[in-house]
Every structure is written in C-alpha cells, then in structure tokens.
Amino acid sequence: MNWDDWEMIWRRPQLPLGAAADLASLRQNFERTRRQTAKALLARDLLEAAAGVIVTTALGLIWWQQGKAGWPDRAGRWH
C-alpha cells in the first residue's frame, strides 16, 4: 500500500456494525434481560439473607444450650 491508499482508508472509515441495527428490538431485548437479571439478583440476595438468619439462629441456640460450658474461662480452659 502506498500513502494515497492509507489516506483514502483514513478519510472514508467504515460504519460500525451496530449502525444498521434495529434499535427498537435492541431496547426491548435489553429491557427484558435487565428485568430477568434484576429478579435473579433479588432472589439470590433474599436467599443469602435467609441463610444468614438461619445460621445465626442455629449458632445462637447451640450457644444458649451450652450455657457457661460453651465459653472458655479466663485461663482459656473449656468447662
């Protein structure tokens, strides 16, 4: 290629592939995907919160039943 070929390519760039895309269908598909992702994230967050509450409750009940025996004394010995 010579300088004139490079200059012609530089002055007449190709349009990006998305320039001819159907924007209405892209927006509709994006909105549907966004809603699905939001629902999935909400379900995951609620499931993780429920798991945290269950584990905390279970550990609290175990420690409550253990009483003083579940804690080390000042010397670090377990009762």
> Over the chain, what is the mean pLDDT?
85
Nearest-angstrom CA–CA distance, 34 and 16: 24
Nearest-angstrom CA–CA distance, 3 and 59: 75
pLDDT at 68: 76
Q: Sort 28 into a burial class: Cβ within 10 Å, 0-12 / 13-18 / 19+.
A: exposed
Within 13 A of 68's CA, how many CA atoms are on the CB side? 3
Say whether pLDDT at 16 is over 80.
no
Say whether pLDDT at 22 is over 70.
yes
Q: What is the pTM of this model?
A: 0.56
